[in-house]
Chains A and B, each alone.
Chain A
């Protein structure tokens, strides 16, 4: 009996809207319909079909009744032909099987504003994380400068320095990617050109760098264990 459900890791940034749409479209064409969206998304077996997906960031100002606003937004999209599939962390996935239905957001500046606001909070948080390990990294550099043996630093200083490096790589990659996208998006909007979001290929390259970062952190954990044992 063939599988009826499938789970896939689907970590998308706010600037990866097109990549997400592309991915869900390809899955539907392969016979897998998105059922639940999140860091691990769930797909259900379906007839292979050509569908249009739209991933929108619903970002509202403080004081807005979020539940009521999302309900109104998805109802209006539904009337226009876009069915709400699922949502996670402010990103809402809609689908339609029709070609004549207009895009959900036809004002490019509105989409840039939503993506920028959503991304900004995340980017700021990313830079706080490496700061938690900066003392450890500084201690490691100082210890090396003082001539301490590397083996003596394996238990604590080196793993902390590795964590700092990994989180810094993560923060730099994400920030650079967001700033690059924002600059290009503003230029496109100013010249009335379509706004480009990251496609699957660009997103996968960035994700590879992030995996390197996670790999470094895992290595740090292992080294720490080795250091303690020694």
Chain B
């Protein structure tokens, strides 16, 4: 399968990677994303599955057969490459927020 470029992340992708800074299984990822986004973002299992497959193909996450805290097998965790991508995305979002700050102050 050809690798897709993941230079920028969508909002759900960003939150899934944030969640995977600890090993989690599928359903735990969905719950953690909801928790991190304060209930704002809900990811469906189908969307999550496709996303995890894409991340795994690009070496951003890895899958293990260890049991997660819920006792389920097939947990995922972020790789070193994934952490770099997450940090890159965080810096990009931070820059965007800072760039907009001055403009938003004037709009008040």
Interface residues of chain A, those whose CB is within 8 Å of chain B, are 56, 61-64, 69, 72-73, 75-77, 79-80, 82, 102-107, 110
Contact A104 B72 (CB under 8 A): no
Check A104 against B45 for contact (C-beta < 8 Å).
Answer: yes
Asked if A110 contacts B47 (CB within 8 A), the reply is yes
Is A56 a contact of B26 with CB atoms below 8 Å? no
Assess whether B6 is interfacial by the CB under 8 Å rule.
Answer: no
Complex: how many Å from CA A103 to CA B10? 19
A-B contact pairs, 28 of them (CB 8 A): A63-B1, A64-B1, A72-B74, A73-B49, A75-B26, A76-B26, A76-B46, A77-B45, A77-B46, A77-B49, A79-B25, A79-B26, A79-B27, A80-B27, A80-B44, A102-B30, A102-B43, A102-B45, A103-B44, A104-B44, A104-B47, A105-B46, A106-B43, A106-B44, A106-B47, A107-B47, A107-B50, A110-B47
Q: Which of A63, A64, A103 has most B Cβ within 10 Å?
A: A103
In the assembled complex, B42 has its CB within 8 A of some CB on chain A = yes
**A56 to B, closest residue via Cβ:** B46
Q: Once bound together, how far apart are the Cα atoms of A77 and B45, in whole Å? A: 5
Measured in the bound complex, the distance between the Cα atoms of B3 and A61 in whole Å is 12
Contact call B43/A72, Cβ cutoff below 8 A: no
Decide: A105 and B26 in contact? CB cutoff 8 A: no
CA distance A210 to B8 in the complex (A): 45
**What sequence of 0s and 1s flags, for each residue 44-69 of chain B, a beta carbon within 8 Å of any chain A beta carbon?**
11111110010000000000000000
Known: A73-B45, A73-B46, A102-B44. 5 other contacts (CB 8 A): A79-B45, A79-B72, A103-B44, A105-B46, A106-B47
Contacts A73-B49, A80-B27; A105 near B1 (Cβ below 8 A): no
**Whole-angstrom distance between the Cβ of B35 and the nearest chain A Cβ:** 14
A69 to B56 alpha-carbon distance, docked (Å): 13
Considering only CB atoms, which chain B residue lies closest to A106 in the complex? B44
Given contacts A61-B1, A64-B1, A79-B72, contact A104 B27 (CB under 8 A): no
Say whether, besides A63-B1, A102-B43, A104-B44, A76 and B12 are in contact (CB < 8 Å).
no
Nearest 10 Cβ contacts at the A-B interface = A104-B46, A80-B45, A106-B44, A79-B27, A105-B46, A76-B26, A76-B45, A102-B42, A77-B45, A107-B47
What sequence of 0s and 1s flags, for each residue 4-16 of chain B, a beta carbon within 8 Å of any chain A beta carbon? 0000001010000
Cα-based distance from A104 to B17 in the complex (angstroms): 19
Q: How many angstroms between the C-alpha atoms of A107 and B44 in the bound complex?
A: 8
Cα distance A105–B1 in the bound complex, in angstroms: 22
The chain A residue sitting closest to B43, CB to CB, is A106
Report which residue of B12, B45, B72 has the largest number of chain A beta carbons within 10 angstroms of its beta carbon: B45
Tell me the minimal C-beta distance from A14 to chain B in angstroms: 15
A64 to B50, CA, bound (A): 12
* Shortest distance between the CB of B38 and any CB in chain A (Å): 16
B31 to chain A, nearest CB (A): 10
- With both beta carbons as reference points, the residue of chain A lying nearest to B31 in the complex is identified as A80
